[in-house]
Amino acid sequence: MLDFFTIFSKGGLVLWCFQGVSDSCTGPVNALIRSVLLQERGGNNSFTHEALTLKYKLDNQFELVFVVGFQKILTLTYVDKLIDDVHRLFRDKYRTEIQQQSALSLLNGTFDFQNDFLRLLREAEESSKVRAPTTMKKFEDSEKAKKPVRSMIETRGEKPKEKAKNKKNKGAKKEGFDVPLTASKTAPAEKSVGADNGVELSKEELIRRKREEFIQKHGKAADKSSKSTKSDAPKEKGKKAPRVWALGGCANKEDLDYSAPTTNGAPEVAPPEDINLIRGTGPGGQLQDLDCSSSDDEGAAQNPTKPSAAKGTLGGMFGMLKGLVGSKSLSREDMESVLDKMRDHLIAKNVAADIAVQLCESVANKLEGKVMGTFSTVTSTVKQALQESLVQILQPQRRVDMLRDIMDAQRHQRPYVVTFCGVNGVGKSTNLAKISFWLLENGFSVLIAACDTFRAGAVEQLRTHTRRLSALHPPESHGGRTMVQLFEKGYGKDAAGIAMEAIAFARNQGFDVVLVDTAGRMQDNAPLMTALAKLITVNTPDLVLFVGEALVGNEAVDQLVKFNRALADHSMAQTPRLIDGIVLTKFDTIDDKVGAAISMTYITSKPIVFVGTGQTYCDLRSLNAKAVVAALMKA
């Protein structure tokens, strides 16, 4: 039922492969590596590629990857357990070969795993087979028939006995719960719980199902017992006498009156209000300076952590010493606190919240089980891994060289078309002017197409820019050729039509580049998104640039997702034109809260082509991944 199962090292060597079908498995596995592992989306362990579902598992200690592929339409329940079993068996059987540093041991070793794998597969498949529906018990077999009739008559005295019986059952069930929850991968525990049910499910599903049954069977008693620990704490706080409602309800007016005693109908005197708290500001009612309020925030944040830190120093010191020396493999619990801190740090640096969560998940996946070297703490290992993944995300996946592509287009005697899109007020027109200045400096002639026919003054703005650029690069200094020109058709017209005419005009007049400026639009505005998608589909520009400001936080995710979706939905082509690059603007306004760069590149996996750092023509930069990551990781 499986299409294939491969085991390969992270360095690229395939150690063992099982192929259920004749198709090669390299294609899907390469797609898995490129989209998931290399783009840091490794939190979830399954991936869909065409008609196959791929599930994978990383062994970070020995640098191996286990991948299994099966048809998407099948829902195989035994796959997760199969991967775990195979992983364990393979690791134990070939420990010496995979343990060494050099790749020679991997190359020279023979991994004859076929028989073991087939045996494990057979076991997994059998255990997942659906059993015949159980026949109903006859009355004679049930427990009720065995009990004498007298015992079933309910009197007041009988209740405690039944409760004792319930408690015993609960205790047994609870043990059954704790064992799979605490023990990580011991087979006997799984077997004992699985034997109850008869169907081999994954651990989490099993626990969930058992819990539901348990709650159903024992009803409120179970709820009370499971919540007893939690309710103990609040119970201690408010020692209120429980209200006793007499059976039969003597509804006496005085008894039912629970209101607080009042004097003359006036309410009780409230505790004296803290005038200072209400006023909040310093003495004299003036507004506090910004510095004071920020230090208050820090103090408040530090105080709760201080007592816990003081308590934890002794234990932490020993733990740190223990962690420093000797090789220790990382587990999730070790990394938990560090990852939480890193996640909060990333969110504080303006990375979108779900992306920070996904990133930390992926880093945890990559580090789980890894053996740390001596003298490296958990914090340093996690920080190092996070830094590497951030640099990896910011590296462009495709070539970023606009000038080279323009030269190519020049050779083919057609203009190079760039479209700028984005929401309102991000700096499309300003950055368009900056980019045209840069192109003019490099000797290319530019046609600016004013396809923003909605905003008042949009055309005039571009006309002013054109005039200034023309003054900087007059036709006389370029052999009588107009280097920059504006193509506009006024307001209220169809943007896609204007763009098409502009491109035709550029081709006739021999302009090298056409920069198309569109109106800003919100990502939720369906008719405007349709209009943008139409402009891009009809004119097929060479580069679609999304302009986003660096100040945006979680909104970046929403904007990019909706823009891409709109472009994909309204395109007729097989492979729709999506956003090709990002221009990050207003970078000078953020200090070191550079998280927006990460959010945007993570969502689209497209590179940041330009960074805008101001409002003059020279304020155009390209992204330096290391500097951005350094600013991001700075405390």
Partner 1 sequence: MASADSRRMGNDGGGGVGGAFQPYLDSLRQELQQRDPTLLSVVVALLAVLLTLVLWKFIRSRRSSQRAVLLVGLCDSGKTLLFVRLLTGLYRDTQTSITDSSAAYRVNNSRGTNLTLIDLPGHESLRLQFLERFKASARAVVFVVDSAAFQREVKDVAEFLYQVLVDSMSLKNAPSFLIACNKQDITMAKSAKLIQQQLEKELNTLRVTRSAAPSTLDSSSAAPAQLGKKGKEFEFSQLPLKVEFVECSAKGGRGDTSSADIQDLEKWLAKIA
Q: Which spans of this chain sit near partner 1 (rule: CB under 8 A)?
A: 6, 8-14, 17, 26, 29-30, 33-34, 37-39, 63, 65, 101-104, 107-108, 388, 391-393, 395-399, 401, 403-404, 407, 438, 441-442, 587, 610-611, 613, 620-624, 627-628
Of 9 and 554, nearer to partner 1 (C-beta) is 9
In angstroms, what is the minimal distance from the CB of 68 to partner 1?
14
* Shortest distance (Å) from residue 17 CB to partner 1: 7
Report how far residue 44's alpha carbon sits from residue 603's, in angstroms, rounded to the nearest whole number.
16
Which residue, 502 or 597, has its beta carbon nearer to partner 1?
597
CB 386 within 8 A of CB 363: yes
Q: State the DSSP H helix or E strand holding residue 128, giving kind and residue range, or none if neither.
A: helix 114-128
Tokens of 435: 């980019």
Per residue, what are the HEC states of 370-437? CEECCCCCHHHHHHHHHHHHHHHHHCCCCCCCHHHHHHHHHHCCCCEEEEEECCCCCCHHHHHHHHHH
- CA 620, CA 603: separation in Å to the nearest integer? 23
Strands, E assignment, 471-607: 484-487, 513-518, 543-549, 581-585
- Cβ 334 to partner 1 shortest distance, Å: 22
Quick one: 172 or 618, whose CB is closer to partner 1?
Answer: 618
Smallest distance from partner 1 to CB 623, Å: 7
Do 84 and 124 touch, CB atoms closer than 8 A?
A: no
**Count of CB atoms within 10 A of residue 498's CB?**
22
Taking the complex as a whole, the smallest distance from the CB of residue 609 to partner 1 amounts, in Å, to 10
Closest CA to 527 of 488, 570, 579: 570
The count of residues in the chain is 635
- Residue with smaller CB distance to partner 1, 515 or 623: 623
Cα–Cα distance, 277 to 294 (Å, whole number): 17
Residue among 397 and 554 whose Cβ is closer to partner 1: 397
Closest CA to 359 of 25, 20, 43, 15: 43
Q: Distances from the Cα of 476 to the Cαs of 266, 277, 324, 482, 505, in angstroms?
A: 90, 70, 71, 9, 22
Q: In angstroms, what is the minimal distance from the CB of 581 to partner 1?
A: 14
Closest CA to 587 of 612, 620, 557: 612
Taking the complex as a whole, the smallest distance from the CB of residue 107 to partner 1 amounts, in Å, to: 5
Residue number with CB closer to partner 1 (109 or 319)? 109
Comparing CB distances to partner 1, the nearer of 20 and 176 is 20
- Shortest approach of partner 1 to residue 24 CB, angstroms? 9
Q: How far apart are the first and last CA of the chain?
A: 51
In this complex, which beta carbon is closest to partner 1, that of residue 110 or of residue 574? 110
Question: Tokens 């007041």 sit at which residue?
Answer: 156
Shortest distance in whole angstroms from residue 401 CB to partner 1: 6
- Which one, 295 or 622, has the nearer CB to partner 1? 622
- What tokens were used for 22? 């004749």
3-class secondary structure, 53: strand
Shortest Å, Cβ 211 to partner 1: 38
Question: CB within 8 A of 331, min separation 6: which ones?
Answer: 368, 369
The smaller minimum CB distance to partner 1, of residues 77 and 105, is found at 105
User: CA-CA distance, 452 to 520, in Å (whole number)?
Assistant: 8
